[in-house]
């Protein structure tokens, strides 16, 4: 039975309890009541609501009006994963990767990621792409396989994957080097807030590469946007332009694909 079907089969009161918990957690100002949200979320989770179970796991990892307990979080993620929630599989995979609340188990972590990725979960697809790109978690380095994972995640407008694809095209890793495609992917990722993409796109504008004309003002804007979110290289590049230094950053300073979540 699919997760949606499981939820639809629950008593209306359980569904309403979950929806009220979500509304209270997402409310702003005085309307936000996390203490009551946690109470209601747990009630819905105990009644078998898959998303409530996943959310309880999340709340137990961040400790918002509830004590942090990764062991209990893992138990809730496991319950939700068994009911087909890909986000719960992803979250449980993260715990198994680092051994927090559960035994460290890279193979189990990978299995959970693959299960979630088969359901189209963008973060899981991206993580698998990273592991193939870097040859980590016991996975053999394979740029071409990494590109496939990034492409599948990018279909959902997943910013880190769009950025990672840009880097692959920029460096010719797993694909034929194509600066025009790299720029397009960087633009798409930067538009939805990826700071690494904004920084790398700024380099293209600064040096006038990939068919672009030299545009130091646009480069400065991109560096500034990334710098405002704490991107160290972008901060240095922006300061260099402000100080009229000759080079804000070397072209070789492009980052690796974003780290797994």
Query: Contact at 8 Å (CB) between 254 and 231?
Result: no
68-72, 111-115, 190-194, 244-248: range with lowest mean pLDDT: 244-248
* Sign of the dihedral through C-alpha 6, 9, 11, 17: positive
User: Among 149, 175, 171, 172, which residue's Cα sits nearest to residue 162?
Assistant: 149
Chain mean pLDDT for the chain: 94
Model confidence pLDDT, tens digit, residues 204-260: 999 999 999 999 999 999 999 999 999 999 999 999 888 876 666 666 566 667 777
- pLDDT attached to residue 249: 67
Full domain range(s) for residue 227: 157-261
The answer to the question of residue 256 being in a domain is yes
- Residue 45 pLDDT level (bands cut at 50, 70, 90): very high
Whether 242 is in a domain gets the answer yes
Domain for residue 49, yes or no?
A: no
Dist. CA 231–CA 160, nearest whole Å: 15
Q: Rounding to the nearest 10 degrees, give the CA dihedral for residues 221, 224, 225, 231.
A: 140
CB atoms within 10 A of CB 87: 21
Answer whether residue 106 shows pLDDT above 60. Answer: yes
Judge whether 215 lies within some domain. Answer: yes
Query: What is residue 257's predicted lDDT score, i.e. its pLDDT?
Result: 77
Burial pattern 201-225, b for ≥16 Cβ within 10 A else e, equals bbbbbbbeebebeeeeebbbebbbb
pLDDT at site 1: 79
Question: Does 141 fall in a domain?
Answer: no
Residue bearing the bigger pLDDT, 198 or 255:
198
pLDDT at 261: 66
Question: What's the pLDDT at 242?
Answer: 86
- Of the candidate ranges 124-133, 177-186, 189-198, 233-242, the one whose mean pLDDT is the lowest: 233-242
Entry pTM: 0.92
The per-residue pLDDT for 79 is 98
The answer to whether residue 255 is domain-embedded is: yes
How long, in residues, is the chain? Answer: 261
When pLDDT is averaged across residues 137-158 and rounded to a whole number, the result is: 97
pLDDT at site 208: 95
* Residue 101 belongs to a domain: no
User: What is the domain count for the chain?
Assistant: 1
CATH number at residue 182: 1.25.40.10
Q: Establish if 213 belongs to a structural domain.
A: yes
Q: Which tokens go with 166?
A: 């840009």
At 69 the pLDDT is 97
Hey, what long-range contacts does 202-205 have (CB within 8 A, 24 or more apart)? Answer: 202/226, 202/234, 202/237, 203/249, 203/251, 203/253, 203/254, 204/179
């Amino acid at each position: 039975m699919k997760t949606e079907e499981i939820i639809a089969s629950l008593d209306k009161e359980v569904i309403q309890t979950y929806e009220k918990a979500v509304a209270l957690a997402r409310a702003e100002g005085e309307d936000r009541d996390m203490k009551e949200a946690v109470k209601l979320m747990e009630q819905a989770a105990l009644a078998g609501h898959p998303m409530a179970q996943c959310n309880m796991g999340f709340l137990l990892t961040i400790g918002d009006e509830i004590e942090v307990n990764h062991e209990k979080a893992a138990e809730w993620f496991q319950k939700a994963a068994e009911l087909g929630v890909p986000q719960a599989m992803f979250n449980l995979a993260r715990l198994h990767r680092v051994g927090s609340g559960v035994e460290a188990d890279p193979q189990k972590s990978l299995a959970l990621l693959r299960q979630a990725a088969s359901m189209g979960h963008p973060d899981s697809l991206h993580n698998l792409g990273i592991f193939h790109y870097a040859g980590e978690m016991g996975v053999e380095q394979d740029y071409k396989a990494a590109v496939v994972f990034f492409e599948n995640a990018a279909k959902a407008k997943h910013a880190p994957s769009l950025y990672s694809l840009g880097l692959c095209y920029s460096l010719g890793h797993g694909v034929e080097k194509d600066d025009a495609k790299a720029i397009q992917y960087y633009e798409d990722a930067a538009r939805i807030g990826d700071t690494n993409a904004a920084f790398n796109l700024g380099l293209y504008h600064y040096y006038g590469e990939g068919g672009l004309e030299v545009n130091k003002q646009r480069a400065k804007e991109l560096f500034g946007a990334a710098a405002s979110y704490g991107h160290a290289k972008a901060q240095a590049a922006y300061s260099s332009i402000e100080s009229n230094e000759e080079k804000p950053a070397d072209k070789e300073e492009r980052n690796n694909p974003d780290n797994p979540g």
